[in-house]
């Protein structure tokens, strides 16, 4: 039987071999939940193609659901938003002194600065364009990744205040990033908050009067009220990732990944499967070929405990995952060509989600979601209820 036979219409068979179905309504509900929870403004983090969900669709959804800001890593991501007509405030936090900042400054992108060199570059771009640049200064309060080290903070603030007086830029915000907000032990987060409060005092002593203070990522927004301040920067939680260890906040996964049974074979006990025959069938069984692989972002380690759902039942992914294909052992279950294969779905329906894949493969769901793509199609839907089609 072919997929066309099963659906009754060749036209209804998608050409893509796998599809990411993104429920924008779930993202909107997640944003509303966060807004109700914190009562602060929300910055929707749409970097890395909206964690794989589609940057522009997510940006529009987030703004419609009440997010006030959009957050991205690179200037290019910020300019993509502007080119698409998005006029909302956008912060980008990975400009460096060699980034071309002319368009960003001219188009009102807020640029984060963590060192004097980047601040000089922003002021230079402002001078060239005649626009007043908007800047948020980033302080390192304990993450030791980005941000000005505490020892350089005062000098950075003093320099920024001088540029303000010269009319080339205005510091509209101060921020920092939390390292351990997912941890139930709040001590590290508390220490970062105190360091940030001190940094704000230092900035004020240097004559800056920033309007927007922000510290919290999703885990801070969900579980550390002291970090909420004026704005919470949420990525993972928008997409339904429960970032706080052992806690659920009623967030909904927004991405479903489906494919179909492209080939089937019955094999005897003892048959070696896929490259290196790392899996050998223990009994007579049916093997299903699903036409997605690591070239589409499926982690190769998923064959060490990963499962998919076919016909409402879970079955193991077995043998080495190839670039374009993976194999599922469905035993004696009556699976036929064209059956839907749910790779990622809703745990409430017994389907795996990104967290389950992350647990199996030793990573975090963020990496799973942003890694998916390759040749997969993506379709956006607006499901009114929690049910997905």
Ligand X SMILES: Cc1ncc(COP(=O)(O)O)c(C=O)c1O
Nearer to ligand X, 240 or 291 (CB): 240
Which of 28, 45, 159, 229 lies at the binding interface for ligand X (CB under 6 A)?
45
Active-site residue list: 47, 275
Nearer to ligand X, 30 or 237 (CB): 237
Nearer to ligand X, 111 or 126 (CB): 111
Token readout for 158 is 């003093």
From the list 5-13, 115-123, 162-170, 235-243, the region that binds ligand X by CB under 6 A is 235-243
Distance between CA atoms of 215 and 226, rounded to whole angstroms? 10
243 binds ligand X (CB under 6 A): yes
111 binds ligand X (CB under 6 A): no
Distance between CA atoms of 176 and 146, rounded to whole angstroms? 8
Q: For the beta carbon of residue 349, count every other beta carbon within 10 angstroms.
A: 11
Token readout for 288 is 């299903």
Which residues does 368 contact at the CB level (< 8 Å), separation at least 6? 297, 299, 354, 357, 358, 361
256 binds ligand X (CB under 6 A): no
Site for ligand X in 198-217 (CB under 6 A): 217
Nearer to ligand X, 140 or 307 (CB): 140
Which of 46, 133, 202, 234 lies at the binding interface for ligand X (CB under 6 A)?
234
Which residues does 187 contact at the CB level (< 8 Å), separation at least 6? none
53 binds ligand X (CB under 6 A): no
Nearer to ligand X, 158 or 364 (CB): 364
Q: Angle at Cα 204 formed by Cα 202 and Cα 206, nearest 5°?
A: 75
3-state DSSP assignment of residue 222: helix
Q: How far is the CB of 358 from ligand X (least distance, A)?
A: 14
3-state DSSP assignment of residue 302: helix
Site for ligand X in 159-188 (CB under 6 A): 177
29 binds ligand X (CB under 6 A): no
Distance between CA atoms of 264 and 314, rounded to whole angstroms? 17
Q: Are 227 and 189 in contact (CB under 8 A)?
A: yes
Which of 52, 54, 89, 235 lies at the binding interface for ligand X (CB under 6 A)?
235
Which of 72, 121, 236, 298 lies at the binding interface for ligand X (CB under 6 A)?
236
From the list 55-63, 229-237, 275-283, 379-387, the region that binds ligand X by CB under 6 A is 229-237
24 binds ligand X (CB under 6 A): no
CB-nearest residue to ligand X: 235
Q: Are 251 and 33 in contact (CB under 8 A)?
A: yes
Burial class, 12, CB count within 10 angstroms (exposed 0-12 / middle 13-18 / buried 19+): exposed
Nearer to ligand X, 239 or 279 (CB): 239
Which of 55, 69, 93, 228 lies at the binding interface for ligand X (CB under 6 A)?
93
Instruction: Give 141-182 as a DSSP string.
Output: SS--SSSB-HHHHHHHHHHHHHHHHHTSEEEEEEE---SSTT
Q: How far is the CB of 380 from ligand X (least distance, A)?
A: 20
Size of interface with ligand X, in residues (CB under 6 A): 13
Query: Interface with ligand X by CB under 6 A: which residues?
Result: 45, 71, 93, 177, 217-219, 233-237, 243
């Amino acid at each position: 039987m072919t997929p066309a036979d099963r659906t009754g219409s060749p036209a209804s068979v998608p050409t893509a071999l796998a599809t990411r179905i993104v429920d924008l309504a779930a993202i909107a509900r997640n944003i509303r939940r966060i807004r109700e929870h914190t009562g602060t403004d929300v910055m929707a983090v749409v970097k890395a193609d909206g964690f794989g969900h589609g940057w522009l669709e997510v940006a529009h959804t987030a703004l419609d659901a009440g997010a006030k800001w959009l957050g991205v890593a690179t200037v290019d991501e910020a300019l993509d938003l502007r080119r698409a007509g998005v006029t909302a405030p956008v912060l980008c936090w990975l400009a460096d002194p060699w980034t071309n900042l002319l368009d960003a400054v001219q188009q009102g992108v807020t640029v984060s600065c963590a060192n004097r060199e980047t601040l000089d570059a922003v002021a230079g771009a402002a001078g060239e364009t005649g626009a007043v640049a908007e800047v948020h200064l980033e302080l390192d309060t304990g993450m030791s990744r980005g941000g000005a080290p505490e020892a350089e903070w005062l000098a950075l603030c003093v320099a920024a205040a001088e540029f303000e007086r010269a009319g080339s830029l205005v510091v509209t915000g101060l921020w920092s990033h939390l390292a351990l907000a997912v941890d139930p032990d709040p001590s590290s987060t508390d220490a970062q908050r105190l360091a940030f409060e001190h940094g704000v005092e230092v900035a004020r002593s240097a004559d800056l009067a920033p309007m927007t203070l922000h510290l919290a990522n999703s885990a801070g927004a969900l579980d550390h009220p002291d970090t909420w301040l004026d704005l919470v920067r949420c990525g993972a939680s928008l997409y339904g990732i429960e970032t706080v260890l052992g806690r659920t906040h009623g967030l909904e996964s927004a991405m479903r990944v489906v494919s179909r049974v492209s080939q089937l074979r019955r094999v005897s006990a003892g048959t070696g499967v896929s490259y290196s025959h790392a899996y050998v069938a223990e009994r007579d069984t049916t093997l299903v070929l699903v036409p997605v692989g690591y070239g589409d972002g499926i982690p190769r380690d998923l064959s060490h405990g990963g499962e998919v759902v076919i016909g409402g039942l879970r079955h193991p992914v077995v043998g080495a995952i190839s670039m374009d294909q993976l194999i599922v052992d469905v035993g004696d279950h009556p699976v036929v060509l064209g059956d839907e294969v749910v790779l990622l779905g809703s745990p409430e329906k017994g389907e795996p989600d990104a967290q389950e894949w992350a647990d199996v493969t030793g990573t975090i769901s963020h990496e799973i979601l942003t890694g998916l793509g390759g040749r997969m199609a993506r379709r956006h839907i607006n499901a009114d209820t929690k049910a997905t089609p």
